[in-house]
Amino acid sequence: MHKAALGILAGLSLVLAACGTNNNQAAQSAGPITIGVSLSLSGDFSGDGKALKQGYDLWAQDINAKGGLLGHKVTMKYVDDASSTQQVVTNYQTLINQDHVALVFGPFSSLLTIPASAVTDRYGYAFPEPAGGGPKVFEKGLHSIFFVQPATVEDNLVSYTQWLLALPPGQRPKTAAYATQDDPFTQPQVDKAKGLLEAGGVTTASYKVYPAETPSWDTLALQVVNSKADVVILGTQEPDAVAFVKVFIQQHYNPKSIIETTGPDQGKDYADKVGAANTEGIMVPTGWTSDSTAFGSQQFVREMVAKYGGSAGDISADSAEAYSVGQVVDQAAKKANSIANKDLINALHSGTYQTVQGPISFDSIGRPHGVGVFIEQWQHASAVFVYPSSVAKAKPEYPKPNWS
């Protein structure tokens, strides 16, 4: 082989080696580091994206006040993905290859986490993420992703079904209506709940799967209204969660129980949109609420109110989920005595990490070990845990009160 060709190959080898070690060298240097995040600051998930940003920013403030992440002062860099599966890929490619961020945190939703995780894994980055736990997130068996919530999402409504089926026979619902986005976060929850309730003797009065880009949810909501079902189970994000409730109010349809996969967990943002009085009795599965006594949760609540205003009940669970991502990374870095991505990945696959959502540990492909989450219900203008009894701060309101 010609010497010139050998020289070219040697140069290419050095470039590839540099690409493979660049983020680890940057992370281990003594100076500050940048953590890159693609967030939905516009588009369908913008409410959730902004709540995640608040949680991430508060964590960065707290970690810097303590001297930084293993001594490295942290700067957060956010890029808007506009709730787009294409843009989220571009964003993480840019954050890693052009901005050379030391670490990355995850976006909102399973829909965006799935393509994003393929990018971050390709470049050897740890990918702790707050809001992408649908079954399809884990189908590729990636070793670098970590879903920082108490349980995978397909089990989110299991507690709700257990509560319904444990009601006295005279109170137990006879029929249920289901509607869900065709989304890897929402549909697995609803389908599992439907199977469990049908097995428990609850007849399905209506079942509909609809595209995420549905221009109007009114017709879908009217289908639920016309079913006259005793209980309603909705696989929603916040926009359609609000739209369904508004139609139910307009049509004077008041089922005995309503639960939505997302929306009611958004605190003040949700209450403002449906009307605070109309939140009464609505339920949502969640791993966190503002009266939680989990590790650091009450301090987190105080700091959120101090930084962003409002009251404890106004805080979105998304913010707690984002803050938890920072908590597990901080603890993993201390455990590994390193913030190199390879070391963080290895550390996160062992041990249990304390968060504002409670203790969290991960299996070999980043799923949390917990089974099922809690049920919270809006009562007297704030959301409180009502099931299971081990965490309940109030008894469930059933049947739910009439609309105001």
Listed by start position, the domains of the chain span 3-153+295-360, 155-289+373-387
Q: What is the pLDDT of residue 8?
A: 36
- Strand bridging mode 175-181 / 203-210: parallel
Q: What's the pTM value of the predicted model, to 2 decimals?
A: 0.81
For 307, the token pair is: 């930084």
Q: How far is CA 316 from CA 54, 268, 309, 312, 365, in A?
A: 9, 8, 13, 9, 27
Phi first, then psi, for residue 29 (nearest 5°) are -70, 165
C-alpha 317/C-alpha 267 separation (Å) is 8
CB-based burial label for 214 (10 Å; 0-12, 13-18, 19+)? middle
Q: What is the pLDDT of residue 373?
A: 77
C-alpha 127/C-alpha 23 separation (Å) is 14
Which regions in the chain score pLDDT beneath 50? 1-27
Q: How far is CA 157 from CA 49, 186, 270, 387, 404, in A?
A: 23, 10, 20, 11, 27
Q: How far is CA 389 from CA 285, 365, 385, in A?
A: 15, 31, 9
Residue 179: which of 195, 196, 167, 191 has the closest Cα?
191
Cβ 63 vs Cβ 102: under 8 Å: no
Task: Fill in the amino acid letter for 25.
Answer: Q
C-alpha 200/C-alpha 67 separation (Å) is 54
The CB density around residue 118, as the number of other CB atoms within 10 Å, is 15
DSSP 189-256: HHHHHHHHHHHTT-EEEEEEEE-TT-S--HHHHHHHHHHT-SEEEEE--HHHHHHHHHHHHHTT---S
Same fold: 3-153+295-360 with 155-289+373-387: yes
Round the CA-based radius of gyration of the chain to a whole number and report it. Answer: 22
Encode pLDDT of 142-195 as tens digits. Answer: 999 999 998 888 889 999 999 999 999 999 999 999 999 999 999 999 999 999
Cβ 295 vs Cβ 356: under 8 Å: yes
For 125, the token pair is: 């980055």
Q: Which residue is associated with the tokens 């319904």?
A: 164
Task: Fill in the amino acid letter for 194.
Answer: K
Asked, as a colleague might, if the bond just before 399 is cis with ω within 30 of 0, I would say: yes
CATH of 3-153+295-360, one of 3.40.50.2300, 1.10.10.410, 2.170.190.11, 3.40.50.620: 3.40.50.2300
Cβ 283 vs Cβ 375: under 8 Å: yes
Q: What is the pLDDT of residue 390?
A: 84
Q: What is the pLDDT of residue 29?
A: 55
| Strand segments (E) across 33-141 | 33-39, 74-80, 103-105, 127-129
The domain 155-289+373-387 having CATH identifier 3.40.50.2300: the answer here is yes
